[in-house]
Amino acid sequence: MRVAVPHRWPVDRAEAEAIQDRLRPRVRVEPDDAPPPRPRLVAGLDVAYAKDDERLAAAVVVLDAATLEVVESVTTVGRAAFPYVPGLFAFRELPTLVTALERLTVTPDLLVCDGQGVAHPRRFGLACHLGVLTDLPSIGVAKQSLVGDHADPAPQRGAWSPVRDAGEVVGRALRTQTGVKPVYVSVGHRVSLAAATDLTLRLAPAYRLPETTRHADRLSREALRAALGTPA
DNA sequence: GCGACAG
DNA sequence: ATCTTGTCGC
């Protein structure tokens, strides 16, 4: 698929934040009463890092939303494009993830990202960034919270509590499995928070994390191992 | 000044 | 994220 590749890459924090502020207005958040999306192909994206914190491998895995079976997968190796700074995390892995997306022969109907969407200091986390670059619906499903406060959701699968930051609801702490730590769901692009929640639950029928993320996590680690075996 | 801080 | 074995519990 085609991706609107960023032309200028930030060299420091100020430039990176400026890019986020410039792209932020392009994010489209659907209202919760909007017609729910019915994606047929859902893509999971993840990145594995080498211990030297520089080389990395990205994986994009496309699943059939109905059966959760793998339709296609792509892996790419690269190098960290930015130091890790909370809030600027996307700049680390964006180039390698975009390369992987461009090698996809099918176009997914939804991107499920391993990180935040609008639950971000400038309301522009990785899921928003990838959503805007591809103009595809996207959601963020993070294992940890980045901003805001929330109550602990009830222990049952499906229970959730809003994540509020600076007076606005930016995401949900969602229990995908009874008695298991919640995940943090937020809108990336062209979806509602209600739909993002519903999709996350559907994609996580048996484990805490969505099957999309689990597949991408495993494949990115395998690709990294293979790449490290052949030092560049 | 102190603590928090996606992956 | 990554470094890492066994171990407690359902």
The domains located in chain A, with CATH, are 13-229 (3.30.2170.10)
**Does A232 have pLDDT greater than 80?**
no
List, chain by chain, residues whose CB lies under 7 Å from nucleic acid strand B: A 46-47, 49, 53, 84, 86-90, 114-116, 120, 125-127, 140, 142-146
What are A84-103's pLDDT values in tens digits? 999 999 999 999 999 999 99
Split at pLDDT 50, 70, 90, the class of A4 is: confident
Average confidence score pLDDT of chain A: 96
Percent of chain A at pLDDT > 90 equals 93
Task: Provide the Cα torsion A152, A111, A103, A80; round to 10°.
Answer: -40
Q: Which nucleotides of strand B come closer than 7 angstroms to any CB of the protein?
A: 5-7
A209 vs A79, A118, A144, A212, CA distance in Å?
26, 19, 12, 8
CA A27/CA A129 separation, integer angstroms: 8
pLDDT of residue A106: 98
Q: Which of A103, A82, A111 is nearest to A20 (CA)?
A: A82
Which residues of A are known binding-site members for Mg(2+)?
A: 46, 114
Split at pLDDT 50, 70, 90, the class of A8 is: confident
Q: In this structure, how many other beta carbons lie within 10 angstroms of the beta carbon of residue A11?
A: 9
CA A48/CA A44 separation, integer angstroms: 13
For residues A54 and A210, the answer to whether their CB atoms sit within 8 Å is no
